[in-house]
Amino acid sequence: MKTIHKLWILIAILAVLAPIGLVLPEHFRAGAAWGEWSIEEIKNLIGYIPKGLEKLSSAWSAPLPDYALKGQEGYPAIGLSFSYVVSAILGIIIVAVSIFLIGKFLSKKE
């Protein structure tokens, strides 16, 4: 098997295992990443919501926020893990296809 095919298998394995990155922080009661708190969390931290932060935080509403499928947000672990894997696969396909298109445009024939 070619190395690149083995590397794609690695990507597939990582996509399926991705919910580890969801369950572990939950298990160890780790909060949000530093500087990535929600509006409510920041209010708890400093006692007020910075005005500009409040305004800009909703500048963009992503279709699948936090890698969760519609209707699965806040579901218990299994539903969230499932949508996390689906998001991983979807993201990988979009990223890979974009690079193949960019690469086709940028790379030179040998």
Q: Which residues bind another protein (CB under 8 A)?
A: 3-4, 6-8, 10-11, 14-15, 17-18, 20-22, 24-25, 27-36, 42, 45-46, 48, 50-67, 84, 87-88, 90-92, 94-96, 98-100, 102-104, 106-110
Comparison of 62 and 76: residue with beta carbon closer to another protein: 62
Q: Can you tell me the distance from the alpha carbon of 76 to that of 19, in angstroms, rounded to the nearest whole number?
A: 13
Query: What is the C-alpha separation between 99 and 21, in angstroms, rounded?
Result: 25
Q: Indicate the residue among 25 and 78 with the shorter CB distance to another protein.
A: 25
CA distance 3 to 5: 5
Rounded Cα gap, residues 85 and 100, in angstroms: 22
Q: Which is nearer to another protein, 29 or 40 (CB)?
A: 29
